[in-house]
Structure 1
Amino acid sequence: MDKKKLEHYKSRLLQERDRILRALNQNEDDFEGSTTTRSAEFEESAKLDRDREYISGLLTKDTDILSEIEDALKRIKEGTYGYCIDTGKEIPEARLEAMPWTPRTRDAQAAYERRRSVGPPED
């Protein structure tokens, strides 16, 4: 990958990292606020539970992507960015444009997800 493209992806990764960090801070504030709110009515309590669950899900997804972004920035420093961590094949630019933090080609990602869904063999 040429230097100009590498800088483009690095810039995108840094922008996305900053966006997620801002969102995480806001979501954590929202989450903390919703956990301290007290309600006498069951319906309101159920809504607060759904809100907390939703915010918690957002936090988990954002922290997962943040970790992938940090890994991608590390691969840029190591000179391995843009190559699949499983197969070593070059990741198509269209995929990197859509998800610059992706560590795998589409096929390798599908295989990885199949392995994860099966889980370890049971005794």
Structure 2
Amino acid sequence: MPLTDKQLEEFKSKLEEMKKDVLKRDKHRDESVDEDESRSLENHMGDAATAEYEHEKELTLKESDEELLDEINQALQRIENGTYGKCVDTGEEISYERLKAVPYAKRTIDAQRKYDKKKVLPDERVEAKREDPSDTIEQIQEEQDAAGR
């Protein structure tokens, strides 16, 4: 059953509120990173690893928020285009319950599962050839012998 105008307006308001929250969080994070960078000049060397970890964590969170913001903006655009609530892959209607849980959802649950299965790449580390450590040691010794050591 298609969404009513009232439901669309509710989702639009919810998405706009989510967008404000993400932007506010991002602004706060930027201010925090700036403060941390100025403090890092005064930090003891022992604190450098902690500061680096915190910086990397903030960058990861910022990247995650940027992806969320993109999803929210796409959903708002779908509302404007009249395609909100329809699966981008199948054209089927996305359930109201799913949209309540994830207002920026662009796929039905089944279509999302299929999409996620395609997206997951095999772990290359598992498939990679495992080298025998003794081979590596022999190679190092050969290289050292060739270098005249």
For normalisation by structure 1, the TM-score amounts to 0.89
Map of 2:44 onto structure 1: 40
Return the alpha-carbon distance in structure 1 between the equivalents of residues 112 and 36 of structure 2: 36
- Which residue is equivalent to 1:12? 14
**Within 5 A, what are the aligned runs for 1:107-122?**
107-118=110-121
Shift of 1:41: 2.6
Q: Runs in 1 of length 4+ with deviation above 4 angstroms? A: none
Q: Does 1:106 align with 2:114?
A: no
Deviation of 1:107 (Å): 1.5
Paired residue type of 1:23: R
CA contact (8 A) 1:75 1:81 kept: yes
Deviation at 1:4, TM superposition (A): 0.4
SS at match of 2:120: helix
Where structure 2 has 5 or more consecutive residues not aligned to the other structure, the ranges are 123-149
Any conservation in 2 of the 1:82–1:96 contact (CA below 8 Å)?
yes
Please identify the structure whose Cα radius of gyration is greater.
2
Deviation track 1:35-78 (CA, whole Å, cap 9, x = no partner) reads 33222232x11111111111111101111010011100110011
What runs of 5+ residues in structure 1 fail to find an aligned partner? none
Mapping for residues 56-71 of structure 1, pairs under 5 Å? 56-71=59-74
The code of the aligned residue for 1:4 comes to K
Aligned-partner Cα distance in 1 for 2:113–2:62? 24
| CA distance in structure 2 between the partners assigned to 1:107 and 1:33 by the alignment | 45
Identity of aligned residues (%): 32
Letter in 1 for 2:18: E
State the TM-score, normalized to the length of structure 2.
Answer: 0.74
Q: Distance in 2 between matches of 1:118 and 1:67?
A: 23
Q: How many corresponding residue pairs?
A: 118
- Say which is worse superposed, 33-42 or 94-103, in terms of deviation: 33-42
Q: Where does residue 4 of structure 2 map in the other structure?
A: 2
Aligned CA-pair RMSD: 1.4
Q: Which residue of 1 aligns with 2:57?
A: 54
